[in-house]
Amino acid sequence: MKTIMKNETGIALFLVLWVLTLLSVIAGEFCFAMRTEVNMTRNFKGQTAAYYIALAGMNRAIGELIRNEVMPPKTSSTEIPGKEEEPEDEEDGERWRINVDIPPEPYGEGQYEVRIGNEGGKININGANQSLLKMMLKGFDLEEQEKSIIVDSIMDWRDKNNLHRLNGAEDDYYSSLPEPYECKDDDFDSVEELLMVRGVTPEIFYGGLRDIVTVFKPSKRGTRVGQGVRLVKSDAGKININAAPRKVLLALPSMTEDLAQEIIDYRKKSNFTSLTKVASLVGTNVYNLISPFITLETSPYFSVRSVGKMADSRIQQGVEALFEINKKLKKGYRTVQWRDSFQDQEEPSLASEKE
């Protein structure tokens, strides 16, 4: 009898322990699920807040760009060598300039960091001449023949006729491909079209070419003649020295790493307001070689990259867009491209495009 009671007590104790273990597992799973949901909710809230902080930075940048267009800063003439540069009016306030590091601005529960670029600092594949197109390929490990094929094929792609250059390509080449298509014989509408051009491989395009080219030509600028205004041909075949990224600077003839860095360091403090200042910085010999390819003309197309970051968190979201800034437009600007990115703990990248 005592043995039976001991067995029953042991079984009861085992059942109690088993139930307690089961309840512990269930409670632990519930706590884990709740913690996961809380973290997901907090991250989603942080991501959403960071995204709208990035939007705030984007809107601020648009306002600054419109301000620069409506009330352009005073600059010295680019036509008169040796003319003294006029300082900007102190009441004008500090402006957001292109291609420089803009200090982070606090907003809400975080801050936004904005970077502004200008398409005038890139090589325009719709307006660049043969020399500039060849310079464009300077930083790539290509044979001279490969460069000639790409340059001639780009010019054949955008010209209006069906006659190909020595190393170029027209319909006869593209129609012989496994997946045939016709040569466009018109301007490039996007830089991605380069992937359709003979000689331009994905390795070349994604290896840096797409970062230094544009398809947006500067507007024709007005020059006063008597009582009227005469439109002057834009510098579509030249590079804005104030907006050119390092890769584009290094593509210029006789440009060295040291000289490119000197130009970048100068731009951190102020834009070049005369080409004579460029000449004094790089030296007469180098300037004479690069002068046919550089300008101070700014394109009306600006790229803006805004990153919203939460305070005391690694969460960040980014927005990147391309705008045309023109005071003749109803709002003073129009959106040409818009791309959102939804990434944590990483720099934003272009992910989707809205027209």
Please say if the pLDDT value at position 352 is more than 50: no
H/E run at residue 308: strand 301-310
Mean pLDDT confidence for 32-47: 77
What's the pLDDT tens digit per position in 118-155? 999 999 999 999 999 999 998 899 999 999 999 999 99
Tell me how crowded residue 14 is: count the other CB atoms within 10 A of its CB: 10
Percent of the chain with pLDDT over 70: 81
Backbone phi, psi, residue 67, to 5°: -60, -45
Check residue 130 and give its pLDDT: 92
Contact 307, 347 (CB under 8 A): yes
Which of 221 and 302 is assigned the larger pLDDT?
302
Q: For residue 295, what pLDDT band results from cuts at 50, 70 and 90?
A: very high
d(CA 194, CA 124): 12
In this structure, whether the domain defined by 129-211 belongs to CATH 1.20.1250.20 is answered with: no
Mean pLDDT confidence for 28-42: 75
Contact 303, 119 (CB under 8 A): yes
Indicate the DSSP class of residue 83: P
Mean pLDDT confidence for 150-174: 94
Written as one string, the DSSP assignment of 238-269 is SEETTT--HHHHHHSTT--HHHHHHHHHHHHH
Dihedral Cα 73, 248, 217, 126, nearest 10 deg: 170
Which residues are within 8 A (CB) of 237 and not within 5 positions of it... i.e. 6 or more apart?
124, 127, 128, 129, 132, 293
Query: Which of 26-40, 267-281, 313-327 shows the lowest mean pLDDT across its residues?
Result: 26-40
Contact 177, 169 (CB under 8 A): no
Query: Which of 9-23, 140-154, 177-191, 335-349 shows the lowest mean pLDDT across its residues?
Result: 335-349
Which of 73 and 129 is assigned the larger pLDDT?
129
Check residue 76 and give its pLDDT: 46
Q: What is the mean pLDDT of the chain?
A: 82
Largest CA distance in the chain: 125
Please say if the pLDDT value at position 228 is more than 80: no
Please say if the pLDDT value at position 216 is more than 70: yes
- Whole-Å CA distances, 223 to 240, 275, 315, 324: 19, 19, 49, 21
Check residue 204 and give its pLDDT: 95
Q: What is the residue extent of each domain of the chain? A: 1-122+219-225+237-355, 129-211
Q: For residue 89, what pLDDT band results from cuts at 50, 70 and 90?
A: very low
Query: Which of 75-79, 231-235, 259-263, 301-305 shows the lowest mean pLDDT across its residues?
Result: 75-79
Which of 249 and 72 is assigned the larger pLDDT?
249
Q: For residue 219, what pLDDT band results from cuts at 50, 70 and 90?
A: low
Which of 6 and 169 is assigned the larger pLDDT?
169
Please say if the pLDDT value at position 189 is more than 80: yes
What's the pLDDT tens digit per position in 237-253? 799 999 999 999 999 99
